[in-house]
Amino acid sequence: MTTTTEHGLASGPAPRLTEGLPEVRANRRRFSWNTAVRIILLLIAATLTLGPVLWTLSTSLRSPSESFKLPPSFIPWNPDFTSYGQVFQQLDIFLLVLNSALVTGLIAVGQMVSAALAGYAFAHLKFRGRGALFSIVLATMMVPVQVTIVPVFMLIRGMGLSDTLLALILPAIPTAFGTFLMRQYFLGLPTELAEAASIDGASPWRTFRSVYAPLAMPGMAIVGILAFNFHWNEFFRPLILTISEQNFTLPLGLVSLQGNLGTGSISVVLAGVVLSMIPALVVFMFGQRALQAGLTAGTGK
Amino acid sequence: MTGAINGHLRQITRRTALGALGAGIIGASVASWPRLTGTDIPGRGDNSLSIAILGTAADAAARQRAIDAFSRIHPEIKVKVQAIQAVDWKDFFTKILTMVAAGTPPDVVYVATEGAQLFAEKLAHPLDDYIRRDAADMADFFSDVHPSLVEAFMYKGSLYQLPMDWNAANMYYNTAAFAEAGLDRPADDWTHLDFRSNLAAMKKARPSDFTPYYWTNRLFGGVVPWLYANDTSFLKETRSTGGDWLWDGFYANDPSRSLRSGGYQWLEPNATDGRVFESFDYLRGLVKDGLGVRPEEGGGNSLVGLFASNRIGTTPAGGYWVQGLHEAGMGENGFDVQFFPRWKTQRHQFGTAGYAMMKTAKDKDAAWEWIKFSSSREAMELIFPNPATTPARRSMVNADLYAGKGPAHWKVFYDTLDRFPTTGPIPAPPQQAAVETALMKNVSLAVSGDEQQLKQALASMQRDLEIALRRQP
Amino acid sequence: MSTTVPPREKTRQAARAGKAAPARTVRRGTSRHSQRWLAWAFLAPTILGMGLFTLIPIVASVVLAFFRWDIISAPTFVGLDNFAEVAQDPTVRVSFLNTIVFVVVAVALQLGLALALAIMVQEKLPAWLRVFFRSAFFFPLILSAASVSIFMRYLFNEQFGVVNWLLSLVGIPAVPWLTTPGGSAAVVILVYVWQNFGFSFLLFIGGLASIPVETYEAASIDGATGWRKHVHVTLPLLSPTTLVASVMAIISALQVFDQPYVLTRGGPGDSTRTAVMVIFESAFQRLEFGQASAIGVLLTLIIMGITAVQFRLSKRFVFYQ
C-alpha cells in the first residue's frame, strides 16, 4: 500500500485519496494490534449497514408464510421468485422506472447545467451584489419543501401542469446546493489558468469556454449524481404533486404495494424494494468514484 | 508526437461524446414529451365520466369488464376509471382533495365510511332525487342489502352513496392454535371474559414465538370494536332526523325499521366516559399479561404474513381478509371466524364503501347511471369476483364465493348484520382526519402503561378530540 | 484549500488553454462590462427558477398565513388567528420540540459515527478493504427513505423482528420499539442515521485527504500518538469540513419527513411527530392551508436562526489553514 497523498480528483484507476495516514514507526507493534481492533470495529459497522439490506433481499425470496422465520436467514438457499412476479403483476414497474428515470435524469441534467453556469458566475465573474445574491441562494436551502409546496402546487396548476412529470421536474432544477458546490469547485481550480487567459486578452466568455468549461465536468458529475440520488428517492413532492398512477415514481409505487389495510404481502413489498434498488445501484457503481473524489474538492475549504 | 495526436483524438472523441450526449438528452426529452406532460394517459382531458377508486392499475383493469358491460347498456356514456394508489383511506381522500385543488376533480369517487360525511358535507351531491325517480329499479337493490349498511351513508336525511362492499370486525382465529390449547370453536355469544381465558390457554400451550391476540391501532378493527361491544364509543353518537322517505319506501317491513334514522352524527368527544375507560383497561390487561400486543400505529402490514405463518392466535378482521390469507398460503381449514365477543352488547363495528357523485360532476345523469348500474347484481359480480371484500348484496355472500378458501363459518360475515341490527359504522364525522389522528395517537399510550397513564391518555384524547371536532370540516 | 486538479492534468490543461485563447487586446472596461453581462446570463436559469419556485412561494406562504383557506372555497382574511391557534396547539408545540431533539441527537450521532469511521478507514488498511468499507457505508444512501422505512418496520417488530431476536441472544428482553414513545423515537433516529451517516462519512474522507502529511509528521515528532494525534491535529484541521457537514446534516434533519411518516405516522402519541409532518397533516389532510403556512413560517424562522447561530459560532471554532 502507498502512503503518498494525492489530493482531490484522482485520475488513476483506484480512488486514490489519502491512502492511509502515515503511521508512526516507533509504535509498529502496537499498531498491528490497533489495526486488528479497527478492522473488527469497521466490520461490525459494515455488517450493521449491509445486514438489513441482505435480510430484505433474502426475505423477498421467501413465501409470506415463511417471512418471519427466526432465527433470520440471510442467504436465500431456495430462492422463490413468485413475489417478484407479483410485483410486476401489481405494478407497472417499467413505467415507474421510466418515470423515475425521466424525472431524475432531466432534473440531474438541468441542475448540472444551471449550477455550473451560476457557480461559475459566483466564483469567477465580478458583478454588483454578488455576495448578497449568493447569500440569498444559500438561504433558500433552509426553507423546507413543505413550506412552499402549496404555492408551488397552485403555480403548477396555473401553468396547466397539474399531475404531470414536468411538475416534478421544473421546480427542482434551480439548485442552491449544486450552485454552492460548483462555486467551490470553480474556486478550487488554479487561478493561474484564468490569469494566463486574461493576459492573452481573452473575453470572459472565451475564458469560460476554453479554460473552465472543459474542466467543469467532474464537478458537474458530482452535482448530477447527488441530484440523481436525491430525486430518485424523493417521496414528499411526488406524494403531493402527482395523482395518476401513470405519473408515479418508484418510491410512491413501492409504498402502495403495502396495500390497503395492510393486506399486502411482506415478500411482495420487499421484492419491490429490492427491484427499486437496482437502477440506483448501477448509477452508484459508475458514479461512486467521481462522487467520492469530487466531494473532496468541493467541501475541503 | 504520438502523445499529441492521442490528446487531439481524445479531445475530439470527448467533444463528440458530449455532443452525442446532449443530442441524446434533447432527443429523449422531445420523444418523451407526452409522458412528461401526461397527455399520453388515456382519457385525460376528455369529457368522459371519470371515476376514482382506491387501488392499483390492476384494480382498474379488473373493473374493465364492468365498464364493458356498462357500455353495452349506455353506449353514449364514455367511462374511464382512475385507480388511485394509497396506503389507507385517509391517504386516498388526500389525493382526491388534491385533485379538486388542482382543478381536475373526478365525477364519481368510491368512498368508504371513513370519508362518507366529509364528502357529504363538502363535495358530494345527494342521490335522493335519483333514487325516488328510479324507485322501481332500486327496490331490487335495497331488498338485497341490509339497512344498517345503507344508514351509514345517510347524512342529515339524505342518502349520498349506495353501499357496494363492506366488512365488519369479526374475530379470526387460528384453528391449529385453538386445538393445541384444547379449545373448541367459541360459542356465538362468547363473552370478553371467555375470550380472555381462551387467550390465556393459548399462551400456556405456546409460551414463546406466538401472540394470542394481535391487533393494530386504526379506526377499523382497533379499539373501536371493544368500545362498541361495551355499548359506548370515543365520540357521543347521536342520530339526525329524516330519511323516512327511504326507510318507508324500501324498508317498511324490515324488522329493524324502527332503528333507522336520518344518519349518524358525532358532535362531542366521549373519551372520559366510564365504559371507555373499562374497555381500554381490558385491553391494557391483555397487553400487560402478554396476551395481546401493543398495537402499532397504522400498522397491519405484517398481519397477513404473521397470521399465515401461525404466529397469531386471534385478530379482528372482516371478510376482506380471506383472499389475502389464501394468497399468503393459508389453507381453508387453517383458520375460522366467529362473531366479536360479547360484553354489554354484541354490537359490531363495520365499514362500508360505495360511489359518491361529486357536486362538480359534469354530467350528473350519466354519473347516476354508473352508480345505479354498479349496484346491480350483474355489475357487482364482475367487480367482486373473489373474497377480497364482502359484497353488500346478501345473495352474493354464498358458498361459491368462499369455496376452497375458507373459512368454514363464512356465514358469520352477513349474519353479523342480521343478528345484531344495532351494529354501527366506523365513527367518522366530516373532520375524520383530525378525529382519527386524535384517537390513534393516544391508543398505544393508553394500553401500554399503568392505570395512571391510561387516565392521562384518555384525558389527552378527550382534549385532542375536542380540538378536532371544533375544526371546520 | 486543496487543489482539485492533479499537477499533471493541471499543466496539460493550462497548455491547452494557452493554445486555445489567441492573443487579442481587450480593454479592461469592456471586460468588466462583458463580465457583468455574462454573469447575469449565467445566473438567469438559477435566479429565475428560484424566484418562481422558491421566493414567490415563500412570500405567498407568508401571505397565506393570514388567511383561512381550504382550497375549495375562497380564502378569508383572519389576521393573526392562525398564529394564535398554532401557538395554543399542543401538538404543534410538541412537534417542534421533537424536531429539535431529533436534530440534536441524530446529527450528533451521524457526525460522530461518520468521523470515527472515516478516521478508521483512512488509516492503514489493505486497499480492497478500504474500498469495501467505503462502499458499504455509502450504500444506504442510494436507497429511498420510504423503502428503508418499510423494511425497518419489519426488523423492529416487537414480537417477530430480527432486532429483538438479536437482543434476545444476549439476554435482553423484547423492546417495544414502535409502540412506546421512547422506542419509536429511537427507531426513527436510528433508521435516519443508518441511512444518512454515509454522506457525512464521504465528506470527512474528503476532508481527511486534504490534510497534509507533514502535519502528522510534525505532530509525531512532538510525541502525539493515537487518539491524541487526532484530537490535536485532525479535529482542528478538519473543522471546515465539519462545519459544512454539520450545516448540511442539520438542514436535512430539520426537514425529516419520510422516516416518521412511514415508520410510525408520528405516534405513539405525538412522540415522533415532526414539524414538517404537522405542516403536511394540517395542509393536506385537514385542508387548513392558512394554518399550515403559519407553522411553515415559524419553522423557517427557527431554521434560519439556528443556521445563523451556527455560522456565528463557526467564526470562533473553525480553524482555517
- DSSP tag of A18: B
| Contact residues, chain A, for C251 at CB < 8 Å | 141-142
| Domain A88-299 superfamily per CATH | MetI-like (1.10.3720.10)
CB contact under 8 A, B448 and C180: yes
| Contact residues, chain B, for A66 at CB < 8 Å | 309
CB contact under 8 A, A20 and C18: no
Of chain B residues 23-62, which have a CB less than 8 A from chain A? Answer: 25, 28-29, 32, 35-38, 40-41, 44, 54-58
For every one of its 473 residues, what pLDDT tens digit does chain B have, with 9 covering 90 and above? Answer: 445 555 555 555 666 776 777 777 777 777 788 888 888 777 676 788 999 998 777 777 778 889 999 999 999 999 988 888 777 788 889 889 888 888 889 999 999 999 999 999 989 999 999 999 999 989 999 999 999 999 999 999 999 999 999 999 999 999 999 999 999 999 999 999 999 999 999 999 998 888 999 998 888 889 999 999 999 999 999 999 999 999 999 999 999 999 999 999 999 999 999 999 999 999 999 999 999 988 876 555 567 878 888 889 999 999 988 988 888 888 899 999 999 999 999 999 999 999 999 999 989 999 999 999 999 999 999 989 889 899 999 999 999 999 999 899 999 999 999 999 999 999 999 998 889 888 988 898 899 889 999 999 999 999 999 988 987 65
What was the ipTM of the complex prediction? Answer: 0.79
Of chain B residues 193-222, which have a CB less than 8 A from chain A? Answer: 209, 216, 218, 220
CB contact under 8 A, C181 and B296: no
Neighbouring chains to A with at least 3 Cβ pairs closer than 8 Å: B, C
Q: What is the pLDDT of residue A258?
A: 67
Residue B396's CB is within 10 A of a number of other CB atoms, namely 17
CA-to-CA separations, B183 to A43, A116, B200, B337, C61, in angstroms, rounded: 50, 73, 11, 14, 62
Query: What is the distance between the alpha carbons of residues B74 and B71, in angstroms, rounded to a whole number?
Result: 5
* Min distance A117 CA to chain C CA atoms (Å): 5
Q: What is the pLDDT of residues A151-172, one digit of tens each?
A: 898 899 889 888 899 999 999 9
A247 touching C (Cβ < 8 Å) = no
CB contact under 8 A, B85 and A266: no
> What angle (nearest 5°) sits at the alpha carbon of residue A262, between those of residues A257 and A265?
55
CB contact under 8 A, C60 and A151: yes
What separation, in Å, do the N-terminal and C-terminal C-alpha atoms of chain C show?
7
CA-to-CA separations, C304 to A143, B270, C165, C298, in angstroms, rounded: 8, 42, 43, 10
DSSP run (H or E) holding B448 = none
| Contact residues, chain B, for C269 at CB < 8 Å | 441-442, 444-445, 457, 460
Residue type, A281: L
Q: Is the pLDDT of residue C12 over 70?
A: no
Q: What is the pLDDT of residues B331-390, one digit of tens each?
A: 899 999 999 999 999 999 999 999 999 999 989 999 999 999 999 999 999 989 889 899
Query: What is the distance between the alpha carbons of residues A264 and B304, in angstroms, rounded to a whole number?
Result: 8
Domain ranges in chain A are 25-80, 88-299
Kindly indicate whether the domain formed by B49-166+352-399 is annotated with CATH number 3.40.50.720. no
Long-range contacts of B239-242 (CB under 8 A, 24+ apart): B239/B263, B239/B264, B239/B265, B240/B155, B240/B156, B240/B157, B240/B264, B240/B265, B241/B157, B242/B156, B242/B157, B242/B158
CB contact under 8 A, B29 and A166: no
The arrangement of secondary structure in B170-234+270-347+429-470, i.e. its CATH architecture, is 3-Layer(aba) Sandwich (3.40)
Which residues make Cβ contacts (< 8 Å) with residue B257, sequence separation at least 6? B147, B247, B251
pTM: 0.81
Closest C-alpha among B50, B42, B44, B59 to residue B78: B50
Query: What is the distance between the alpha carbons of residues B292 and B162, in angstroms, rounded to a whole number?
Result: 37
| Contact residues, chain A, for C61 at CB < 8 Å | 147-148, 150-151
Q: Which domains does chain C have, with CATH numbers?
A: 27-64 (no CATH), 80-317 (1.10.3720.10)
CA-to-CA separations, B386 to B85, B132, B165, B321, in angstroms, rounded: 20, 32, 12, 11
Query: What is the distance between the alpha carbons of residues B85 and B148, in angstroms, rounded to a whole number?
Result: 29
